[in-house]
Amino acid sequence: MRKQNFIKMKKIIFIAICILAAVACGSSIKYKVAEHYFFRNDAVVPENPIITTQAELDSLFGMAPVMGGLPTSIDFSKEFVLAIVLPETNRPTTIVPKVLSSEGDTLIMTYSLDVDPESTFTMVPCCLLIIDRQYLKPKAILKRTSML
């Protein structure tokens, strides 16, 4: 009887440790990438990459409908946007989102870059992530990781 209680206690402690570890490490937040948007050439990159209204989105980004696709719709009553915008470059660059997590009052977005050789044109690489409003935080940190 005493051994069974000891085994039960070990299981309870193990489960508690697993739960605490999962909470401490932060879990990944689901997002979807918005398609067919571009950063406006008359806009200034905001200090906080979190966008919570259509008016704010429209002041920073334009829609680029192309054959085969319309801009992704965003319902700001249920969602918000996390924008990654990089400096203008003559090297075609794709932002590759990796992991979105939260820590306290801050969202943490980890991403990498796919960079092509120099070209004859310039671009402003950007990536818009659409996130459920339940995960909205006042701050966000964008972390670039290496491809290695």
What is the pLDDT at residue 21? 40
What is the pLDDT at residue 2? 59
87-112: b or e for each residue (b if 16 or more CB lie within 10 Å)?
A: eeeeeebebebeebebeeeebbbbbb
Residue 77 near residue 134 (C-beta atoms within 8 A): no
Please identify every stretch of the chain with a pLDDT value under 50, giving residue numbers as ranges: 14-24, 148
Domain ranges of the chain: 27-144
What is the pLDDT at residue 147? 58
What is the pLDDT at residue 24? 45
What is the pLDDT at residue 122? 95
| CA pair distance 10, 132, nearest whole angstrom | 37
What is the pLDDT at residue 19? 42
What is the pLDDT at residue 135? 97
pLDDT tens-place string over residues 47-87: 999 999 999 999 999 999 887 789 999 999 999 999 999 99
Per the listing, tokens 């085969």 go with: 68
What one-character-per-residue DSSP string does 22-66 give?
Answer: HHHH-PPPP-EEE-SEEE-TT----SS-EE-SHHHHHHHEEE--B
What is the pLDDT at residue 148? 46
